């Protein structure tokens, strides 16, 4: 029995890495625009301030062993290096008996294309660690030495690269994730970290004074499928629509092809903290076994807010009011004559005394 258990374990390990590689090695995020750095290292530095993200996703609630993802990232421009930015990210994904933990550091550089458009290039590198918790395995043979350990681990180096073109009106990004396509080795089996291509495009449309409509598309593709003859590329578009009111609150919807539809809502606190929540409803066959997916994103922007003295603010308001009144008033020649200082009347000269 021990002999066969090694074979079973090897097959299970390979399958879990394969499934994890194709589905959950990369962070799945419905609010991908708030979590854009996780998809593309070139996003770091697109804003002129430091940004921090905390992300949690509970996928397929009610399904035993369903994926749970935790992510933290910090990124922004470097003052001493003009146009440069750095960032870091830690992500942990738990699926069944397997836990994947990864850490990355990134560097990006941004240049001006036009007065209103910039272009960024980014590169990140890190390590992926895969763990299988053997103490949770329900073994048939209690004396099997393969299943009596605590944790089986495997590691792989990783690298990502991306480009990002953006302005106040639109953004376009493309990135290559897991580009090294490294193998994952363990004592009894091996697998591969699957490379993926990501593309995103979006546009901001002003609708009146207070509303902004933002349609966007995220396209994911398993790059490994190109090397398999007769196998169509594994492409998955995701369509997103968000409506923002006064840069304060937004609602939106998303459709992930062959997978799920989602509802999103979020709001901004003191122009620094963004809080977003989304709920996904499954459309695939797995919908019979789960109650949907939940996701929460916290985004904090380290923006310096200048404190203004109330008295100074009041004086500025009065000064602006006076200037506006002068600007709106029509000046006529009569006003000029009336405001012109009158010359002093000349007194008659006194007769000279002899």
For 353, phi then psi, to 5°, come to -90, 135
123 CB-side CA count, 13 A: 2
Element (H, E) at 321: helix 310-328
Domains and CATH numbers, the chain: 2-301 (2.40.160.40)
pLDDT at position 37: 96
Question: How confident is residue 124, by pLDDT bands cut at 50, 70 and 90?
Answer: very high
Q: Which two tokens stand for residue 61?
A: 């609630």
Q: How many CB atoms lie within 10 A of CB 173?
A: 23
Q: How many CB atoms lie within 10 A of CB 353?
A: 4
Look at 327 and 116; give whichever has higher pLDDT: 116
- Mean pLDDT check: name the lowest of 19-28, 100-109, 221-230, 289-298: 19-28
pLDDT at position 269: 86
78-113 residue pLDDT tens:
988 999 999 999 999 998 888 899 999 999 999 999
Does position 140 have pLDDT exceeding 80, yes or no? Answer: no
pLDDT at position 347: 55
Q: What percent of the chain has pLDDT over 70?
A: 69
Local structure of 27: helix, strand or coil: coil
Greatest mean pLDDT range, 187-191, 232-236, 329-333: 232-236
State how far the Cα of 74 lies from the Cα of 186, in Å rounded to an integer. Answer: 32
Q: Are 54 and 74 in contact, with CB atoms under 8 Å apart?
A: no
Does position 242 have pLDDT exceeding 80, yes or no? Answer: yes
Q: Are 45 and 76 in contact, with CB atoms under 8 Å apart?
A: yes
The model carries a pTM of 0.77
Does position 27 have pLDDT exceeding 60, yes or no? Answer: yes
Element (H, E) at 196: strand 196-203
pLDDT at position 245: 95
Look at 315 and 5; give whichever has higher pLDDT: 315
Greatest mean pLDDT range, 261-265, 315-319, 341-345: 261-265
159-169 residue pLDDT tens:
999 999 999 99
Q: Are 192 and 183 in contact, with CB atoms under 8 Å apart?
A: yes
pLDDT at position 177: 92
pLDDT at position 3: 45
State how far the Cα of 248 lies from the Cα of 268, in Å rounded to an integer. Answer: 5
Q: Are 260 and 61 in contact, with CB atoms under 8 Å apart?
A: no
Does position 18 have pLDDT exceeding 90, yes or no? Answer: no
Question: How confident is residue 315, by pLDDT bands cut at 50, 70 and 90?
Answer: low
Local structure of 286: helix, strand or coil: helix
DSSP assignment letter at 259? T
Query: Residues 6 or more apart from 8 whose CB is under 8 A from it?
Result: none
171-182 residue pLDDT tens:
999 999 999 887
């Amino acid at each position: 029995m021990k002999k066969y258990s090694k074979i079973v374990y090897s097959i299970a390990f390979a399958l879990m890495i394969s499934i994890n590689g194709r589905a959950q090695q990369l962070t799945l995020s419905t609010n991908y625009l708030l979590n854009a750095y996780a998809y593309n290292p070139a996003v770091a530095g697109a804003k002129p301030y430091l940004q921090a993200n905390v992300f949690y996703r509970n996928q397929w609630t009610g399904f035993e062993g369903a994926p749970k993802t935790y992510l933290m990232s910090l990124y922004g421009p470097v003052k001493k290096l003009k146009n440069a930015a750095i960032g870091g990210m830690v992500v942990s994904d738990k699926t069944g008996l397997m836990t994947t933990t990864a850490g990355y550091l990134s560097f990006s550089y941004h240049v001006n294309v036009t007065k209103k458009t910039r272009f960024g290039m980014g590169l990140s590198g890190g390590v992926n660690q895969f763990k299988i918790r053997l103490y949770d395995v329900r073994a048939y043979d209690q004396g099997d030495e393969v299943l009596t350990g605590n944790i089986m681990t495997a590691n792989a180096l990783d690298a990502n690269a991306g480009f990002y073109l953006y302005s106040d009106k639109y953004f376009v990004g493309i990135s290559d994730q897991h580009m090294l396509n490294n193998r994952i080795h363990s004592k009894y089996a091996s697998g591969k970290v699957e490379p993926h291509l990501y593309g995103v495009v979006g546009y901001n449309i002003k609708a009146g004074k207070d509303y902004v409509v933002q349609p966007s598309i995220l396209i994911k593709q398993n790059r490994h499928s190109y090397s398999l003859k007769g196998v169509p590329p594994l492409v998955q578009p995701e369509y997103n629509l968000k409506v923002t009111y006064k840069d304060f609150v937004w609602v939106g919807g998303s459709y992930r092809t062959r997978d799920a539809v989602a509802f999103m809502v979020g709001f901004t606190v003191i122009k620094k903290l963004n809080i977003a929540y989304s709920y996904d409803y499954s459309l695939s066959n797995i919908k019979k076994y789960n109650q949907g997916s939940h996701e929460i994103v916290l985004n904090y922007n380290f923006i310096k807010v200048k404190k203004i003295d109330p008295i100074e603010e009041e004086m500025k308001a009065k000064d602006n009011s006076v200037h506006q009144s002068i600007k709106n008033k029509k000046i006529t020649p009569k006003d000029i004559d009336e405001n012109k200082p009158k010359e002093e009347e000349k007194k008659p000269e006194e007769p000279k005394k002899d």
